[in-house]
Homo-oligomer: A and B are copies of this chain.
Amino acid sequence: MMADKRGSTMEIMGSATRDGGEEAGSGGTSGMRTVETLLRLLPMGLCIVALLVMLKNVQTNEFGSLSYSNLGAFRYLVHANGVCAGYSLLTAVVAGMPRRSTMSRAWTFFLLDQFLTYIILGAGAVSTEVVYLAYKGDQAVTWSEACDSFGGFCRRAVASIAITFAVVLCYAALSLISSYRLFSKYDAPPVHAHSSTKGIENDAVFHN
C-alpha cells in the first residue's frame, strides 16, 4: 500500500530489495555491493589526502616554527584519518567480495561504522575548535591569535579539516547503509502474507 514511497526512499540504496524476497537486505545484489564498495574507497582517498595535508603542515618564520605536532587536536586528526583510511580499505575489500552477508558480519560492520563515524567527527570537531581559537584568540584566557603570525599554517589546517568533514559525510551514509543491512534482517515475515498468528515466524526469521 505504500509501495511508491518505498520506491523513492530506497533509490539511494540501490536495488537490494528488488530481486526476490529471500535475498532482500542480505547484500546479495551486485549493484548495492558496488555502491557500498565505492562509498568505502572514497573516504579512504579523502582520509589519505587530509592526513598528508596535515602531516606536511609546517611553517617557520620570524616568530618561530609551528608544526601540526605542536597541537594535540591536529595529532588526533592525523591518527584518526590514518585509522579511518585503513578501516575503509579493509571493509571495501570485504564488502566487495561476492559472499553472502552473515549476521555477525552485519553487526560488526554496523558497530564499527558507527564508531568510526564518531571518531572522525570528533577529530573534525576538536580541530575546528583549535583553528577557530587560532583565528579569533580568546582575551578572557589570554590566548593570542596565532593565525596572525602563521597564516599559511592555518589555511592548510582548514583545508585538511574540510576534507575530514567530507569523510564524516561519507561515513554518515555508510552508517545508514550498514544499519539498513543489519536491521532489515530482523523483521519477522509471516509465512502467509496476511497471517499474524503468534509463533509462526520462528523458522523464517532470517533470510540467509
Interface residues in chain A, defined as those with a beta carbon under 8 Å from any beta carbon in chain B: 1-3, 5-6, 9-10, 17-25, 64-67, 70-73, 103, 107, 114, 118, 121-122, 125-126, 128-130, 132-134, 136, 138-144, 146, 150, 172, 175, 179-180, 182-198, 200-207
Contacts and interface: CB of A to CB of B under 8 A. Distances in A.
B9 A107 contact: yes
A50 to B, nearest CB: 17
Nearest to A69: B140
Contacts of A5: 103
A197 to B, nearest CB: 7
A76 B20 CA distance: 48
A69 to B, nearest CB: 9
A200 B21 contact: yes
16 contacts: A17-B186, A19-B198, A20-B188, A20-B190, A21-B188, A66-B140, A70-B138, A72-B129, A118-B121, A125-B126, A125-B129, A126-B126, A126-B129, A187-B187, A189-B190, A191-B192
B3 A202 contact: yes
A200 to B, nearest CB: 7
Contacts of A194: 22
Contacts of A140: 64-67, 70-71
Contacts of A182: 183
A172 B202 CA distance: 29
A71 B144 contact: no
A66 to B, nearest CB: 6
